Structure 1
Amino acid sequence: MKPRPAAQQAHTPRADSHFAPAEAHISGQFGQTHSGFHLLERSDQALLWRLALIDSAKHSIDLQYYVWFGDTLGHLMMSRVIQAANRGVKVRILFDDLNTMLHDMTHVEMRDQLLSHIAKHPNIQIRVFNPWQDRSLIGRGLGMLGDFQRLNRRMHNKQMVADNRASIIGGRNLGDEYFGLNPAFNFHDLDVLGIGPVARQASQVFDRYWNSEWVEDIPKPATDNTTQAEIQNEVASLMHRIDNPSLLAIEAGRMDWSKQIAELNKLLLPGQSVVHTDSPSRSADTKNHMPDAIRALMRSAKSELLITNAYIIPDANFMADLHELGSRDVKIRILTNSLASHDVPAVNSHYENWREPILATGAHLFELRPDAKMRREVAEIAPLQAEFVGLHAKGMVIDRQRSFIGSMNLDPRSEILNSEMGVIIDSASLSEKLAERMLQDMNGLNSWQVVQTAPGQLTWRSQDGELTQQPARNLMQRLENFIFKIFPKDLY
């Protein structure tokens, strides 16, 4: 049995942090239990604020991600993390091991050696969640066959914390398509920047996972004869792989964020928060916490429930909640992916038969258009123009007073297999802003409204007219949608 890494706790927030004045401003006006929040619905802002937190941290950075690809965005983020460590900032990185081997969604790039080299930095620690023991591509495949139940449980959490005062929590992984940099397609996603107690709540989640028995230090390659000079050159090369014109357009190369941080007082909206997560450790007789937290939030609605969620495969409990809310005349509006905007047609295969039952609860159902007008402003970073946009956000607004933003999809994988996290924020001003974004996404320029016109007959209505067959980008999508029906929905 491998020795356990030593238990660690997040750094105590210090008064000299660049984020301390913004926190003091919020607590001075609204009280010690309030944090300040800023929605990150646009890809460019989501990227720039991540860089701002990394570049401005003085003491500590903690990053916990399901996906950290080795693409343009991944290299940009890693290069800035290394520069922060060079300044003396203590960095902890926690990956889910499923994706440490991926360059992007479609290309394998075995990265253990690079990551182990980065972890040799005296100020950087890297750990992986639920790792494969055989690190080769073949070994991973055989491991999945022989130990499927364990390896099928993945850490889907997505968060970062700087100086234990500033946090970003939400749905974005670290890869080009989550930040408007992928020429094929990009996601419309959602995060929230939080300054104050919410950062300590997020740090508690990070520490819980970091110290879990499901986590190990990044494995060292079996043979590694790389010299220290070669390691330094390898790490330095990350700094020179950033040639994306969209990054130049938004000045992602800047390192001084003092002006932006000084203006946080104008951006931050006050609210109280609770950060929820599942336990990193699971036994056969326990279940995840997040589904109960989400359902309790849904059931608390008195007049309105807005849901944006990329991957929806309902279960009986979800449907019962919709029926109960509908019986109380709560107005429910739900936005999810259409087959045409989907990056995972298999999810649509198991979602499509739920359209009519969802509508029968009285809910209004919308599905994203792949050519949504908002994609130029929200999902992409000019001058890039991708082929289509997909939905990846996971958010809720209840009665324009409370909001949820996090990593949890409304499907069996999120409910049963993955670990998830998210933040529930009690803030009328933030909820109103998020509701405005959701309603814009649901209009006919961005989505189809799914309407039942007769038993067994659905219509997709948008600004451009009506369709009587579910929209798809091409014939291959329709074929995949048909084929994946034969696989268990719990896989997705």
Structure 2
Amino acid sequence: MRLIHLILVTLALGACATVPDDIGPFTEEIASDPAPSGILASIAETTTRSESDDQSGFFLLDGNADALNWRLALIDSAESSLDLLYYLWYSDDSGLLLLERILRAADRGVSVRLLVDDLLLIGGDKGLVAIDRHPNVQLRLFNPKRQRQAGMAADFVGRFEQMNSRMHDKLVVADNHAAILGGRNIGDYYFGLSHSYNFHDLDVIGFGPVARQSSELFDNFWNSNWVVPASELPATVDEREIADRREKLTEKLESAESPEQFQLEPRDWTAEFENLVSNLQFGSSEIIWDHIEDGKLVQDMTDSLSVMLRSAERNIDIINAYIIPGQRFIDGIKQMTENGIRIRILTNSLASHDVPAVNSHYKKWRKPIIEAGAELYEFRADPAIKPLVDTAPVVSGFSGLHTKSFVVDGHKVFIGSMNFDPRSALINTEMGIIIDSPGLGKEMLRLAERDMAPENAWQVKLDEQGKLIWVNSDETVTRQPARNAWQRFLDGFFRILPKSQF
């Protein structure tokens, strides 16, 4: 979504030459069998013993500190395998902390497969190769830049359509018994550790069959011709340099400003997992994703989610950070509300936005959404839940919304990576999980009520003259809320760019 400099390992900028075009084919690999022992196996066994064989146990990861801790817990507790798939992996405190813990897991014999989108991985090819050189780690890049030294611009000139398609998915699978899916990438913005701004987001951790479902998604990407092993990058490192990089990684973490609760050393999480069992909500699940078939991207997420939304009989509660609708979206809302279905939508306000260009193309749809019968809410940059968004003692400049979820009729839940915009629908690959669980649905509705409350969001309404107004617990305004004049300028400027790229 944002072209921000990203380096997985922030050491020397050693990139040169090109990635060869004639790589592969590779021997097909599938996920490891579920680990026979360990705390994750125990939790998964408890889940299937307590419920039917096709049901998994789920727990929502709402707070940013919890989201990081449970990722660390899966990594530290894995005994046989770790599969991680991410769009963004920043080289900040949280990104390096997770990388270090992954390497520690590999040190003790865990087999690690790491798949990261390459678009924003700038420089650092030697660092990537060094990670891949670990005997228990395989690192692959999705849709990599061929011209490593020239940067992405050279590739976009000759291969725009392919380079424009990015892997927006986010997934962790541990021991094929547990998985974390949702909206968070890897970086301080997503775990409440940035001092500029932090995202309010949502993931779900699941135990049981959901892990095997997630592995099928991972294998589909891992074995596709869209990925290139880091070993094929035009960079070399010797054993001494690998050791030096590992030492510098540890030194960077020791000098980092991360809060003390994220300790550097791996730890035993048994007590936390045992306490979690009683809080799990059970339900059947289906992982949906944009597949790669015969070397081509097949984008069918929109169809899958449309079927789910059209199944509504009473209500739909949508929380989605980036919305650029079209007339079909409006017509669908109107048809459902005329049939008595209540629809509530929460998205970013201009004030809470990190991507003003999206707001530039969303804002003209505010009035049509309301006139179609939906209730529209926009997240505040200063929400009352900011202590949940910022991980203490961090206090950021503002909060933004990054969640992509909805609930249908109080029991059918979607949590994933897909925004309601053209890029998610037509260009990027996306993923998510559909869960049928009254218990989890109840939890989701509780969070939706909280997030849409006037202390956390503006309700966008039409006044008696049919003009837009924004109402929260403090005031009513007639102009869209913004943090500053520069943001308003960008909001107008980006209106000239094609909405299909956002």
- The normalised TM-score by structure 1 is 0.95
Question: Equivalent residue for 1:174?
Answer: 186
1:127 aligns with 2:127: no
1:258 positional shift: 1.3
Question: Which residue identity lines up with residue 389 of structure 1 in the other structure?
Answer: S
Question: Which residue identity lines up with residue 52 of structure 1 in the other structure?
Answer: A
**8 A Cα contact 1:247 1:253, kept in partner:** no
Find the residue that maps to 2:211 and give its secondary structure: helix
Q: 1:308 pairs with 311, 315, 319, which one?
A: 319
CA distance in 1, matches of 2:412, 2:396: 34
CA distance in 1, matches of 2:381, 2:291: 35
**8 A Cα contact 2:119 2:152, kept in partner:** no
Q: Does 333-342 or 144-153 show the bigger shift?
A: 144-153
Q: 2:230 pairs with 191, 200, 218, which one?
A: 218
Question: Equivalent residue for 2:78?
Answer: 57
Q: How many residues align?
A: 480
CA distance in 2, matches of 1:14, 1:220: 30
Q: 1:453 pairs with 449, 463, 473, which one?
A: 463
1:453 positional shift: 1.0
1:490 positional shift: 0.9
Alignment of 1:309-348 (within 5 A): 309-348=320-359
Question: Equivalent residue for 1:233?
Answer: 244
Alignment of 1:78-117 (within 5 A): 78-101=99-122, 110-117=123-130
CA distance in 2, matches of 1:257, 1:283: 40
CA distance in 1, matches of 2:140, 2:263: 31
Question: Which residue identity lines up with residue 100 of structure 2 in the other structure?
Answer: S
Question: Which residue identity lines up with residue 229 of structure 2 in the other structure?
Answer: D
Task: Write the deviation string for residues 249-295 of structure 1: whole angstroms up to 9, x where unpaired.
Answer: 455655111111222311211111000000135888x8511101111
- Relative to structure 1, is the Cα distance of residues 283 and 256 closer, same or farther in structure 2, using a 3 angstrom cutoff? closer
- Give the % identical residues: 42
1:339 positional shift: 0.4
- Relative to structure 1, is the Cα distance of residues 281 and 71 closer, same or farther in structure 2, using a 3 angstrom cutoff? farther
Q: 2:174 pairs with 156, 162, 181, which one?
A: 162
Question: Equivalent residue for 1:472?
Answer: 482
CA distance in 2, matches of 1:316, 1:21: 49
1:233 positional shift: 1.9
Find the residue that maps to 1:62 and give its secondary structure: strand
**8 A Cα contact 1:213 1:281, kept in partner:** no
Question: Which residue identity lines up with residue 288 of structure 2 in the other structure?
Answer: H
Q: 1:485 pairs with 476, 495, 500, which one?
A: 495
Question: Which residue identity lines up with residue 362 of structure 2 in the other structure?
Answer: Y
Question: Which residue identity lines up with residue 374 of structure 1 in the other structure?
Answer: I
Question: Which residue identity lines up with residue 485 of structure 1 in the other structure?
Answer: R
CA distance in 2, matches of 1:359, 1:474: 26
Find the residue that maps to 1:5 and give its secondary structure: coil
1:289 aligns with 2:283: no
**8 A Cα contact 1:450 1:458, kept in partner:** yes
1:379 positional shift: 1.0
**8 A Cα contact 1:295 1:321, kept in partner:** no
Q: 2:429 pairs with 419, 423, 427, which one?
A: 419
Alignment of 1:8-19 (within 5 A): 8-19=29-40
Q: 2:275 pairs with 263, 268, 273, which one?
A: 263
Task: Write the deviation string for residues 65-107 of structure 1: whole angstroms up to 9, x where unpaired.
Answer: 0001111111001000000000000000000111222xxxxxx
1:18 positional shift: 1.7
1:244 positional shift: 4.5
1:77 aligns with 2:105: no
Q: 1:144 pairs with 156, 167, 174, which one?
A: 156
**8 A Cα contact 2:225 2:295, kept in partner:** no
Question: Equivalent residue for 1:375?
Answer: 386
Task: Write the deviation string for residues 314-337 of structure 1: whole angstroms up to 9, x where unpaired.
Answer: 123322221121111111110000
Alignment of 1:196-207 (within 5 A): 196-207=208-219
1:220 positional shift: 4.7
- The normalised TM-score by structure 2 is 0.93
Question: Which residue identity lines up with residue 317 of structure 1 in the other structure?
Answer: R
For structure 1, list consecutive stretches of 5 or more residues without a partner in the other structure.
Answer: 102-109
1:221 positional shift: 4.9
**8 A Cα contact 2:288 2:432, kept in partner:** yes
Task: Write the deviation string for residues 351-384 of structure 1: whole angstroms up to 9, x where unpaired.
Answer: 00000110011110000010011011x2110000
Question: Equivalent residue for 1:351?
Answer: 362
Task: Write the deviation string for residues 400-428 of structure 1: whole angstroms up to 9, x where unpaired.
Answer: 11100000000000000000000000001
**8 A Cα contact 2:125 2:235, kept in partner:** no
1:222 positional shift: 3.2
CA distance in 2, matches of 1:289, 1:311: 19
- Relative to structure 1, is the Cα distance of residues 462 and 453 closer, same or farther in structure 2, using a 3 angstrom cutoff? same
Task: Write the deviation string for residues 107-144 of structure 1: whole angstroms up to 9, x where unpaired.
Answer: xxx121101101000100000111111112x3421111
- Relative to structure 1, is the Cα distance of residues 231 and 252 closer, same or farther in structure 2, using a 3 angstrom cutoff? closer
Find the residue that maps to 1:133 and give its secondary structure: coil
The alignment yields a C-alpha RMSD, in angstroms, of 1.6
CA distance in 2, matches of 1:30, 1:340: 44
CA distance in 2, matches of 1:309, 1:146: 34
